[in-house]
Amino acid sequence: MSMSQMAGVMLKVPRGTMINVARTLAMSSGGSSDLGGGSGRGGGAGGSVRAAGGAFGKLEAGREEEYFRKLQAAQLKNLKGDLDREIEHHRKQLEQHQAAIARHERRIKEIAREEEQLKGGNH
């Protein structure tokens, strides 16, 4: 699976789920953590450039790391925005519920006064 395909998969996970694919690739490939060091040496088989190792493999590994860091930062920013909007929605609902409670309490007091008037008027 290519990196672009993996990025597509990463975007299809449930909201709030963060996956660092580059770190997962490094851990699953075995060997040292020298990303881009060539096939079997921490670089994995992430494409012909990475598989060849050397400076270009390390450069490509660095670009992939940067891409996934930026993607994760964007996901976190979106998650924070979603949560901010949800908090605001719940605050508005709270205000509406408090207003409804106040209306109902006023109506209960009115009903109690009407009951007292009915009791007083019958005697």
User: pTM score > 0.75 for this model?
Assistant: no
User: Are 35 and 22 within 8 A, CB to CB?
Assistant: yes
User: Are 89 and 100 within 8 A, CB to CB?
Assistant: no
Q: What is the pLDDT along the chain (123 residues), one digit of tens a residue?
A: 455 444 444 444 455 555 554 455 444 454 455 666 655 555 455 566 666 678 888 888 899 999 999 999 999 999 999 999 999 999 999 999 999 999 999 999 999 999 999 998 765
For residue 50, how many other CB atoms are within 10 A of its CB? 25
pLDDT of residue 42: 54
Domains in the chain: boundaries: 3-122
User: First CA to last CA across the chain, in angstroms?
Assistant: 89
pLDDT of residue 49: 60
DSSP 75-119: HHHHHHHHHHHHHHHHHHHHHHHHHHHHHHHHHHHHHHHHHHHHH
pLDDT of residue 14: 53
pLDDT tens-digit readout, 18-45: 555 445 544 445 445 566 665 555 545 5
d(CA 7, CA 103): 52
- Is 29 strand, coil or helix? coil
